[in-house]
């Protein structure tokens, strides 16, 4: 079974890549839910957060710190932003390769959808 994000990471599918490290790729979401909507994608394929284990602890931490840095670059730090992992279909996950959503540029509401 093919994985959309693995194909983006490998360069098979083009994306609006705005930042990249050896472990993480940051792209703009093609269906943004906010004025700023970035996806932080690990280059390692992990289907869901439920599949992550202790070996992935540093990677997950780097994803969050990278999101913080991207929020600063996108000038969202002061006004605020939201970070979201969707897990499985009931949690809204559509692509089964973990990814962290960074949303900002508008007032976020609670509870979310």
CB within 8 Å of 15: residues ≥ 6 apart = 8, 25, 27, 28, 30
CB of 100 closer than 8 Å to CB of 67 = yes
60 CB burial (10 A radius; 0-12, 13-18, 19+):
middle
Active site (annotated) includes residue 99: yes
Among the listed residues 37, 45, 97, 99, the single catalytic one is 99
Q: How far is CA 3 from CA 10, 43, 47, 48, in A?
A: 11, 12, 9, 13
Any idea which residues carry the catalytic annotation? 99
């Amino acid at each position: 079974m093919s994985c959309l994000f693995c194909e983006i990471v490998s360069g098979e599918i083009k994306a609006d890549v705005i930042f990249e490290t050896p472990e993480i790729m940051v792209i703009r979401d093609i269906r943004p839910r906010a004025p700023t909507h970035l996806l932080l994608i690990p280059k390692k394929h992990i289907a869901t957060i439920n599949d992550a284990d202790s070996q992935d602890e540093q990677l997950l931490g780097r994803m969050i710190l990278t999101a913080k840095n991207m929020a600063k670059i996108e000038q969202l730090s002061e006004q605020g932003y939201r970070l979201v992992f969707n897990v499985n279909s009931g949690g809204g996950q559509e692509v089964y390769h973990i990814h962290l959503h960074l949303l900002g540029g508008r007032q976020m509401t609670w509870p979310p959808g």
